[in-house]
Amino acid sequence: MSKKLTKRSEDYSKWYNELVVKADLAENSAVRGCMVIKPYGYAIWENMQKELDRMFKETGHENAYFPLFVPKSLFEAEEKNAEGFAKECAVVTHYRLQNDPDNPGKLRVDPEAKLEEELVVRPTSEAIIWNTYKGWIQSYRDLPLLINQWANVVRWEMRTRLFLRTAEFLWQEGHTAHATKTEAITEAKQMQDVYAEFAENFMAMPVIKGVKSDSERFAGAEDTYTIEALMQDGKALQAGTSHFLGQNFAKAFDVKYTSKEGKQEYVWATSWGVSTRLIGGLIMTHSDDLGLVLPPKLAPIQVVIVPIYKNDEQLEAISEKVNFLVKDLRKKGISVKFDDRDTFRPGAKFAEYELKGVPIRIAIGNRDIENGTLEIARRDTLEKQTISQDDTVVFIEKLLEEIQQNLFDRAINFRKEHTTEVNDFKEFKQAIKNTGGFVSAHWDGTEETEDRIKEYTKATIRCIPNDAIEEEGVCVLTGKPSSKRVLFAKAY
């Protein structure tokens, strides 16, 4: 397979698909719509998990694990949620295969092993979890219940793309129960903040925090809080959502608690999740025509060292130096790889680590040994410079921070350049057509208008931003009064 990537300007979508495969992140599997996450891609997910898990625990949450399957009768209990997911769910109907009498060596479903009740492979776990919470919650003393689960879920999507939309994906789903509405809303907003902090500080991916319009809300929620990022092709990506579920699930599963005053009350709920989709967002925020560009805080390899040598003697002298350096860098918690494979030339290695987005590459050759120097190349700017070996550790530490910051700055500048305030529908259409990106516009608040705008432009309301200012305006499409601008964009 050629290592050469399609250029983003030629075909952004093709560039993305090629990059995911060529950088060894993931590939399609034999199961329609399901991906294989390869070790390099999974290592990014592990780094994401580590930070998110820490943040969840710091905000008082514990992990638990609930069944993969949801019996149909539980699945259908919360009507809107069921309706939202019924169209795309994998259903287990049998529990045994047997030899196929008509095809020797082949198996078939054993017709006698039909389940009495079908099992839905969880597309999300509210139903099975709230059925469990019923047994856990009796009194106000049992609240709040703050639980997270790391799991796989399945949604039988018809059009799939690696990381962005797959039939099976990995995610975390938080499910919390509270005594009051205010507490539950505070929790849902807190988790939106946690997601935003993770996206910006670790992924270097700026996000807009906002609330979803009715039509984009999670099935079964009262309100969906979202973080929305902007990709390099001007399309938005919903990167994480946190739902205030009201008492919908408590009522569907009859989960009540005895208040301090001795009254029986329904519990208030939230749920919130981010998934392996984040890896798609990470790729499309920073990467370039040479390959991945990874932010140092999530890069599986932060520094790679490539020796440049002509013979074993030179390699030995270089290795001796490098081994000390590797130790010193690791002591600082920096992830470093010394690539001394003799089956590849330095040029091939350079290209490989560019493709894989390693933030810093160090090259060290015979002359460097003589001069006490080494060459440092940044993946983000492709700049190179030669520094003294004595300064390496401090230099690298600082440079990793600088790269992390530079990636965020670049992305936020891109977003600024691709956010347009418009005041009529002509401007709206032009903005979507010319620069893409976010379009900030007044909207009359109706689903009908939203649908018509989508029909004309393919743009949808990504969110009503949390920091939207109250201002008098008129809907770009209908001219009806509006008090706030909302953000539109074409979206993944």
Residues lying near a second copy in the complex (CB under 8 A) are found at 27, 29-31, 34-39, 42-43, 45-46, 62-72, 74-76, 79, 82, 86-98, 105-107, 109, 118-121, 128, 131-132, 135, 141, 147, 151-152, 154, 156, 168, 170, 343
Instruction: State the nearest-atom distance from the C-beta of 60 to a second copy, in Å.
Output: 12
Host H or E run for residue 98: strand 97-99
Smallest distance from the beta carbon of 352 to a second copy, in angstroms?
14
Q: Cα 431 to chain center, whole Å?
A: 27
User: Min. distance of Cβ 90 from a second copy in angstroms?
Assistant: 5
Cβ proximity to a second copy, 24 vs 193, nearer residue: 24
Q: Which is nearer to a second copy, 64 or 394 (CB)?
A: 64
CB contact at 8 A, 19 and 1: no
Task: State how far the alpha carbon of 259 is from the alpha carbons of 133, 250, 262, 382, 443, in Å.
Answer: 16, 15, 5, 61, 42
Q: H helices within 418-457, ranges in order?
A: 425-434, 447-457
Q: Which is nearer to a second copy, 163 or 272 (CB)?
A: 163
Q: How far apart are CA 215 and CA 225, in angstroms?
A: 13
Tell me whether residue 106 is exposed, middle or buried, using C-beta atoms within 10 angstroms of its C-beta: 0 to 12, 13 to 18, 19 or more.
exposed
Q: Shortest gap between Cβ of 273 and a second copy (angstroms)?
A: 17
Minimum distance, C-beta of residue 366 to a second copy, in the bound complex (Å)? 27
Residue (163 or 225) nearer to a second copy, CB:
163
Q: How far is the CB of 123 from a second copy (least distance, A)?
A: 11
User: Residue 181 or residue 341: which is nearer to a second copy going by CB?
Assistant: 341
Closest separation between CB of residue 283 and a second copy, Å? Answer: 17
Instruction: Give whichever of 73 and 388 is closer to a second copy, judged by the CB atom.
Output: 73
Cβ closer to a second copy: 35 or 355? Answer: 35
φ/ψ (deg, to 5) at 372: 70, 35
Minimum CB distance to a second copy, residue 387 (Å): 31
- Which of 64, 382 has the CB closer to a second copy? 64
**Residue 77 phi, psi (nearest 5):** -65, -45
Residue 90 or 412: which CB sits closer to a second copy? 90
Longest distance between any two alpha carbons in the chain, whole Å: 83
The set of long-range contacts for 212-218, using a CB threshold of 8 Å and a minimum separation of 24, is 212/241, 212/461, 212/463, 212/464, 213/447, 213/450, 213/461, 213/463, 213/464, 213/486, 214/447, 215/447, 215/450, 215/451, 215/460, 215/461, 216/460, 216/461, 216/462, 217/243, 218/84, 218/243, 218/271
Looking at the DSSP assignment, which residues form a beta bridge with residue 32? none
Q: Give the shortest CB-105-to-a second copy separation in angstroms.
A: 7
Question: Considering Cα of 95, then 101, then 105, then 108, what sign does the dihedral take?
Answer: negative
Closest approach, Cβ 76 to a second copy, in A, equals 5
Supply the minimum distance, in Å, between the C-beta of residue 415 and a second copy. 31
With H, G, I as helix, E, B as strand and everything else as coil, classify residue 398. Answer: helix
Nearer to a second copy, 130 or 443 (CB): 130
Please give the Cα distance from 71 to 312 (Å, whole number). 64
Phi, psi at residue 232, to the nearest 5°? -65, -20
Given the complex with a second copy, which of 179 and 369 has the nearer CB atom? 179
Strands 360-365 and 303-308: what pairing? parallel
Sign of the torsion angle spanned by Cα atoms 126, 131, 134, 136: negative
